[in-house]
Structure 1
Amino acid sequence: MHFNADDFDQLLREHAALLRAHGEAQARCSEVIRAQATEIARLDAQAMRLRMELVKRETALAWAREDRAALEQLVPGLPKRAVQARQVEALQARVRELSDELHRRDVRQAFAPARASHVEELEGLEEDLAAADLVICQTGCMSHGAYWRVQDHCKRTGKACVLVENADALHIVRIQRAGEGQGAALVASQQG
C-alpha cells in the first residue's frame, strides 16, 4: 500500500483529534475520581462521628444498667415499687378527672331546672323570695342547689341577701321602707 502526502496529513489530523478526545476523557475521569474521593472522605468522617456517638451511647447505657442493678441491690423490691408508683400516678390522675366531673355535675345540677318532685317547693321558694325585702340564708339549713338558686334570684332581682352561720347570732333585723323615716335602713344587732 502506498500513502501519499494528503493521506498522511489526514492521518495526522485524525490522530491529533483522537489524542485531544483522549485527553478530555482523561480530564473528565480525573475530575470524577477527585469528586468521588471527596465524597468518600466526607462519608468516612460521618461514619466515624456516628461510630463515636454510638460508642458514647452504648457506654452511657451500660453505666446506667450497672447503676440500676446496684440500686436494685441496695433497695429490695425497687422494680415493684416503681410499677406501683406509676399505678398510683395513674390513679391520682383518674381521681382528679372524676373529681372534676363531679364538680361539673354539681354545678350543672345547681343551675339546672328543678326536678318534678321539687317543683312545688321551688315555686313556693320563688314566691317567698319575690315577696321578701331581705333574704337571710343560714348555712347548713339549705341544700347546695337551693343556696345557688337563692343567690341567683338575689342577683337577678337586686335584693339584699345576708348569709349567716348561726341564726341565733342575728337578733333584730328591721327594714324601714322609704317614707317611714329617712330612706331605707338596715338595722341588725347581734347577741353577745
Structure 2
Amino acid sequence: MRLRAAALLCDTALAWEREDRQAVEAAIPGLPKRLTLARRVEWLVGRVHDLQQALRERLIRPKAPALPSAEIPVPADLHEKSVLCVGEPGASASVARRVIEMAGGRFLHHGGEDGQDGPALEASLVAADLVICQTGCVSHDAYWRVQDHCRRTGKQCVLVEQPQALQFVRSREVLAPATEHVKADPASAL
C-alpha cells in the first residue's frame, strides 16, 4: 500500500511537471525550434574550435602532404626560420607575416623599390632562410639581386606575380629542394 501511494505521488508530480512544461512552451512561441537551433549552434562552435586547433597544429607540425604537385612548394615547418618577403607591404604581406609568425618563424620585409637601400636588401637576403619575391611589385634591380643571391647561395626562392598570391603560405606542407626556383601561377596560388 505504501509503494502504491509513493508511485501515485510520483505519477502526480510528473503529471504536474508536464503540465507546467506545456504551459511554458505555449507561452514562448517557437521554443522547440529555438532549443534545436541552440544545440546546433553549440555543436558548430565546438566544431570551429576543433578545426582551428587542427589548423594551428598543421601550421606548426605538418602532417602528410595532401596538395597537388602543381602548387608552389614552400617549407611548412617555419619554426625558427627567417622568411624574407620582397615587395609591397600591403594586406597580403600582413597575412604572410601572421602565418609565418604563428608557425614560429621570423618575418622579414623589404620593399624592393627603386632607390631603396641595396645593402639593406643584401643583409636581409643573407639573414633569410626562404625568400618570397613579388615579381610585379619590385624594381628590376631588386629582382635581379634576389635572383642572383638565391642562385649563388642555393637559397630557396619563391616568385609570385601578384601580391594576393602570398596567401599560398597558409597551406603549404611540402619542402622543396633548397636550390629550386619556382615561378608562381597566381591562379593556383590562391
Larger radius of gyration: 1
Q: Comparing both chains, which one has the higher relative contact order based on Cα–Cα distances under 8 Å and sequence gaps of 6 or more?
A: 2
**If the length of structure 2 is used for normalisation, what is the TM-score?**
0.35
- The answer to which structure has the higher helix fraction is 1
**If the length of structure 1 is used for normalisation, what is the TM-score?**
0.34
